[in-house]
Amino acid sequence: MKTVLFDLDGTLVNSKEGITKCVQFALSFFNIHEENLDSLEVFIGPPLVDSFMKYYGFSLEQAKKATEKYRERYSVKGIYECSLYDGVKKCLETLKAQGFYIVLASSKPENYCRIILEYLGVSHFFFFIVGATIDGKIHSKEQVLEEVFRRCDFVDKSECCLVGDTIFDVNGANYIGIPCVGVSYGFGKSDEMKACGAKVVIDNICELFRVVK
């Protein structure tokens, strides 16, 4: 391995508070009052529009409006309601010191990814930061990964892997033709990731260096 791609939410960053509170805010615009933030964890990972339609039966137009309301709060407050998981900074430091290229591949809008990584003091570890686009032209993990390899055309797929916490990461890696390393501490389920084809699932990000070596 020479290049390690990372998902953001649930892999590097615990973003539950910010995301679930912003979903709660968006739902309230439609007079849906969800008090249980744990039930909104399903919004962490997949594209927001898809989740509003899937879990609340919104039409496409309603889902787009809900996403606008979500971003209304997220852009000024929710984006900062997050923290690095234990060991993440040390892991990134070790990988970079050993000569690995580190790339972010997130379904979160790219400008938000940059703000979060800068806010948490780790943006300098990343060779590229790639995310979704606000207009939705790039929104799925598969599309994000395609954009990664468009920009990083020097990267050999046989020498890289994706690290993520949900089946969306595993499926995206399968689609693009690279192995996926799952993490069990995020918002997905280990057995589901393994069933979808994750090469290994680790319980602590500090185990990653041993795995990629």
Rounded Cα gap, residues 51 and 162, in angstroms: 23
CA distances in angstroms from 189 to 168, 185, 193, 196, listed in the order given: 11, 9, 6, 11
Q: Which of 7, 9, 165, 169 is catalytic?
A: 7
Q: Report how far residue 47's alpha carbon sits from residue 190's, in angstroms, rounded to the nearest whole number.
A: 21
What does the alpha-carbon distance between residue 118 and residue 38 come to, in Å, rounded to a whole number?
27
- The reply to whether 7 belongs to the active site is yes
Q: What angle do CA 33, 60, 69 make, to 5 degrees?
A: 45
d(CA 66, CA 123): 29
Q: What is the DSSP letter of 85?
A: P
**Euclidean distance between the first and the last CA atom of the chain, given in angstroms as a whole number:** 7
Contacts of 26-32 with C-beta under 8 Å, sequence gap 24+, read 26/52, 26/66, 26/67, 26/69, 26/70, 26/73, 27/56, 27/66, 29/65, 29/66, 29/69, 30/56, 30/58, 30/62, 30/66, 32/56
Q: Which residues are catalytic?
A: 7
